[in-house]
Chains A and B, each alone.
Chain A
Amino acid sequence: MRLGSTDDLRALRRELAARPGPKRRLWVCGGPGCLASGAQEVFRAVEEACRAQGLGGASGLRADLSGCLGLCERGPLAEVEPEGWLYGGLRPEDAGELVSETLIGGRFVERLAADPGCREKDSSPFYLPQKRHVMARFGRARPGSLEDYLATGGYGALELALSELGPEETFRRVERSGLRGRGGGGFPAGRKWRALKESGGGTRYLIANGDEGDPGAFMNRALMEGDPLSVIEGMTLGAYALGAGRGFIYVRHEYPLSVERLRAAAAAAEGAGLLGADILGRGFDFRLAIVEGGGAFVCGESTALTASIEGREGQPRVKYVRTTEAGLWERPTLLQNVESWANVPQIVANGPEWFRRTGSEANPGTKVFSLVGKVRRTGLVEVPLGTTVGALVNGAGGGVPRGRSFKAVQSGGPSGGCLPESALDLPLDFDALAEAGAMMGSGGLIVMDDLSCLVDTARYFTGFLCEESCGKCAPCREGLPALRDVLTDLTEGRGRPGDSAFLESQARLLAATALCGLGKSAANPVLSTLRHFREEYMEHEEGYCRAGRCRGMYLPEVDGDLCRACGACQKACPASAIEGERKEKRRVLPERCETCGACLAACPFEAVKARRPKKGAPDARRA
């Protein structure tokens, strides 16, 4: 089926949209989280059960794998169409009941509810603050299926652009939408598009950044695997508006399924005449290649990424000239994050005013966040920009688990920052986060509770960046290890007075002198934790970790007023350092304690406290 004109496309889209859908459908989630908790096995069992019941084409009852349904923590999930019910924690053994009760019988199976007490997905607090634009097809269309994409409005934007708008108006729609880059900095897309348009003639390139290097973030993976065609259509629109003949999607090495889905989707689009040579018979060519990275964080940076595509080491260069003037092979190049590209078809199809109706004036549209760490409901959420941090953490996420208390939320990946409780009122947008000393980054939100140590967190990120620094410039190559060594000392009981001040001055120096974005922002974890949690640093200088995370730097103590003699701490202790008979309040034996932290985490009543170690108490300095 090769479409030769926009009329062919229109006719096919109409036909597919009008085709009656199945009477009822079970969408088994095939998102990254659910796949990791066994969704594939569940899906196979469901298919088996369908076959056993003789379900198929004519019955109007079917089961399919969907894109990420969001509530990963309760996975494997399944959504029932059209009822909108959400099931969770599925096992292959549940397949028979899912098919006979729900698919055939149309009845809800209470025991399998994903969020107890909520039948419909949309009634769960997890979904209440959400507005799904980029993720709209997850649970509505089979990932990467061209047929489903077309049936759910896909390629409507390309049809409109080619038949009515023309390149100039297509470009203007994106420019006027106020879309800001979803990959980190929030740079206005329109400005980059204009710069590319006004660059000298000749070859121009488009790149989608699917490197998603920030640990703790997986929204780009979910998007590339769940709706690859939206990224491809977005780039095709860009190619048409800006006169670019070739494009690349650079995908993180750790995401083989993303590569596979993108390649299959691109091949399908090409086969239909929607990509490649002479798109829709309009004499416009756009060749797209999917490139797999090599497992280097720095390759998410624009100049390192282009070097990597060219077949060189992913080393950044100083940006004397903008990528839009001289990028890939020294040609004008436009780089946008995959989520930025996925917004383009909707902006072109519905117009900039529609896009601006969501979010705030300076931060229009939605953003996908990955809400992970110490919250009750973890997963992917898409909300209007400007939604408060608290609405995500406490609303969608349901707050920190089991009576623990909230300490911080980390955003922006390794070069982002940690924000304290006061940040719960902060709107999630590019400017507010930057002002508070964090960063939007790609949208990872990592929640920490009172058992998370902020000095350890700074050490973790600094260590990460040390390993990922390419070593080209001295501030990064030498400065980062210097920071890491002091942070390691602080978290291993070798802290000294003045360490915090030293960290602060070194971090500022690094930020001021590093060559690329990695080094420039590498001080953020240290600076933001120093800014908001300085007290914890001072305590570490004295050898005390209040979170009970750093070994040998605290002493667990059972608070007799809070202890309910449940014995959970005793059971958890691997060193038999907790004593007490049944129904007795427990006591810690300091000389046996290895400060592993198991008792702190195990107590359901927050009765085990991390006290300041006395001199001569278990102490890492001994070792």
Chain B
Amino acid sequence: MAGPDLSALPEILESRPADPSELLPLLTMIQGRWRHLPQEALRAVAARLSLPLARVFAVASFYRSLSFQPKGERLVQVCCGTACHLKGARAVAASLEKSLAVRMGATREDGRVTLESVNCVGACALAPVVMLDGTVHGKVSGPGAAGLRL
């Protein structure tokens, strides 16, 4: 399989100053563009910021928002924050696992969808909450969550 098309990478790298403090912002942008961190991009970031590759990998593996494996085209995040936990997040997660045919924390084989948990998205008053591609849906009921069919 050919690697992803990284022709947009130089532009991303040059959009920020070549300073070590730009590491996380750059990785975040790369994650946003390719839904994961391609190895080649990590090398390019290390070169751009004059940082050891090990440090780039260390940061890349530390933050939950970054991943080495490609995420699905659609991202479904079940809030497992305290308020949502109390109001049945586990049942919501179980019903989504069933209706989307993918386990929590995994990407479906066809690459169409990733299902994962998130610790609170700040809409706790509407628990339980599911975030679909960054848009928050409040008061999803267990079986009702299946309505978010993909």
Select from chain B the residue with minimum beta-carbon distance to A377. B125
Residues of B within 8 A of A606 (CB): none
Q: Whose C-beta in chain A lies nearest to the C-beta of B64? A: A295
Closest partner residue, chain B, to A252 (CB atom): B122
Q: Please give, as numbers and ranges, the residues of chain B lying within 8 Å of A378 by CB-CB distance.
A: 124-126
A379 to B81, CA, bound (A): 16
Q: Which residues of chain A have C-beta atoms less than 8 A from B84's C-beta? A: 215
Tell me if A254 and B20 are in contact (CB < 8 A): no
Q: Is the CB of A215 within 8 A of B119?
A: yes
Binds B, one of A170-178, A309-317, A429-437, A475-483: A309-317
Q: Interface readout for B8-41 with A: 1 if CB under 8 Å, 0 if not?
A: 0000000000011111110110000000000000
Query: Quick check: B65 and A295 within 8 Å, CB to CB?
Result: yes
Asked if B145 is an interface residue, CB under 8 A from chain A, the answer is no
A4 at the interface (CB under 8 A from B): no
Given the interface pairs A253-B65, A309-B21, A313-B58, the reply to whether A218 lies near B138 with Cβ below 8 Å is: no
**B137: A residues at CB distance < 8 A:** 36
Asked if B20 and A311 sit within 8 Å, CB to CB, the answer is yes
Does B106 lie at the interface of the complex (its beta carbon under 8 Å from any beta carbon of A)? no
A460 within 8 A of B: yes
Choose one: A32, A413, A464; the contact of B122 (CB below 8 Å): A32
Q: How far is the CA of A296 from the CA of B126 in the complex (A)?
A: 23
Contact of A374 among B20, B24, B25, B86 (CB under 8 A): B86
Residue in B59, B82, B125 with the greatest tally of chain A CB atoms within 10 Å: B125
For residue A288, give the distance in angstroms from its CB to the closest CB of chain B: 14
A248-296 residues at the B interface, CB under 8 angstroms: 253-256, 291-296
In the complex, what's the smallest C-beta–C-beta distance from B28 to chain A, in angstroms? 6
Tell me how many residues of B have a C-beta within 8 Å of chain A: 42
Known contacts A73-B126, A75-B126, A312-B55; A446/B83 CB under 8 A? yes
Q: Cβ of A372 < 8 Å from any Cβ of B?
A: yes
Residues of B within 8 A of A315 (CB): 62
Chain B residues with Cβ below 8 Å from A370 are 124-125
Scan residues 426-472 of chain A and give those whose CB is less than 8 A from a CB of chain B: 444, 446, 448, 452, 460-461, 464, 468, 470
Proximity string of chain A (27-66) to chain B, C-beta cutoff 8 Å, 1 when within and 0 when not = 0000011011100000000000000000000000000000
Bound CA–CA A72/B86 (angstroms)? 17
- Give the shortest distance, in Å, between A41 (CB) and chain B (any CB): 11
B89 to chain A, nearest CB (A): 10
Cβ–Cβ contact A36 & B123, under 8 A: yes
Q: Which of B89-126 contact A (CB under 8 A)?
A: 118-126
Q: Is A410 an interface residue (CB 8 A)?
A: yes
B42 within 8 A of A: no
Asked if A212 CB lies within 8 Å of chain B CBs, one says yes
Chain B residues near A218 (CB-CB < 8 A): 120, 122-125
B74 within 8 A of A: no
Cα(A315)–Cα(B87), bound, Å: 32
Question: What CA separation (Å) do A72 and B82 show in the bound complex?
Answer: 17
Cα A144 to Cα B53 in complex, Å, equals 40
Which residues of the other chain, A, contact B83 by a CB distance below 8 angstroms?
215-216, 372-373, 446
**In the bound complex, do residue A296 and residue B86 qualify as a contact, i.e. CB atoms below 8 Å apart?**
no
Q: Say whether B82 contacts A37, CB under 8 Å.
A: no
1/0 contact trace for B133-147 toward A, CB 8 Å? 010111100000000
Could you say which residues of chain B place their CB within 8 Å of the CB of A528?
none
Whether B23 contacts A216 by the Cβ 8 Å rule is no
Query: How would residues 401 to 416 of chain A score, 1 for a CB under 8 Å from any chain B CB and 0 otherwise?
Result: 0000000001001100
Question: Are B21 and A311 in touch, CB under 8 angstroms?
Answer: yes
Closest to B119 in A: A215
Say yes or no: A216 contacts B124, CB within 8 Å: yes
CB contacts (< 8 Å) of B25 on chain A: these are: 291-292
Q: How far is the CB of B137 from chain A (nearest CB, A)?
A: 7
Complex Cα spacing A213 to B96, Å: 25
- CB contacts (< 8 Å) of B78 on chain A: these are none
Question: Most A CB atoms within 10 A — which of B49, B63, B134?
Answer: B63
- A367 contacts chain B at the CB level, 8 A cutoff: no
A518 to chain B, nearest CB (A): 14
The residue in chain A whose Cβ has the minimal distance to the Cβ of B118 is A254
Given A253-B65, A295-B63, A410-B82: A72 in contact with B119 (beta carbons within 8 A): no
Is B129 close to A, CB under 8 A? yes
Residues on A with C-beta less than 8 A from B129 are: 36
Within 8 Å CB of B24, what residues of A?
Answer: 291-294, 308, 311
A119 at the interface (CB under 8 A from B): no
Please give the distance in Å from B126's CB to the nearest CB on chain A. Answer: 5
From known contacts A35-B136, A215-B81, A215-B82, infer whether A310 and B21 are also in contact, taking CB-CB under 8 Å.
yes
Distance in angstroms from B101 CB to nearest chain A CB is 20
B138 touching A33 by the CB < 8 A rule?
yes
**Closest beta carbon of chain B to A461's beta carbon, Å:** 8
With a 10 A CB-CB cut-off, give which of A222, A256, A293, A448 has the most chain B CB atoms: A293
Asked whether B85 is an interface residue with its Cβ less than 8 Å from the other chain, the reply is yes
Q: Does A158 contact B (CB under 8 A)?
A: no
Determine if B66 is an interface residue (Cβ-Cβ < 8 Å). Answer: yes
Question: Could you tell me the distance in whole angstroms from the C-beta of B72 to the nearest C-beta in chain A?
Answer: 17
Residues of A within 8 A of B (CB): 32-33, 35-37, 72-73, 75, 212-218, 221-222, 253-256, 291-297, 308-315, 370-374, 378-380, 410, 413-414, 444, 446, 448, 452, 460-461, 464, 468, 470
| Given contact pairs A33-B124, A216-B83, A292-B28, a sample of 14 additional A-B residue pairs in the complex whose CB atoms are under 8 Å apart | A35-B123, A73-B125, A212-B122, A215-B124, A216-B124, A253-B65, A292-B25, A294-B27, A294-B59, A295-B64, A311-B59, A413-B82, A446-B83, A470-B62
13 residue pairs from A and B, CB less than 8 Å apart: A215-B84, A292-B28, A293-B24, A294-B64, A294-B65, A295-B65, A296-B63, A308-B24, A314-B63, A371-B125, A372-B124, A373-B82, A446-B86
Cβ-closest 4 pairs across A and B: A294-B63, A215-B81, A72-B125, A215-B120
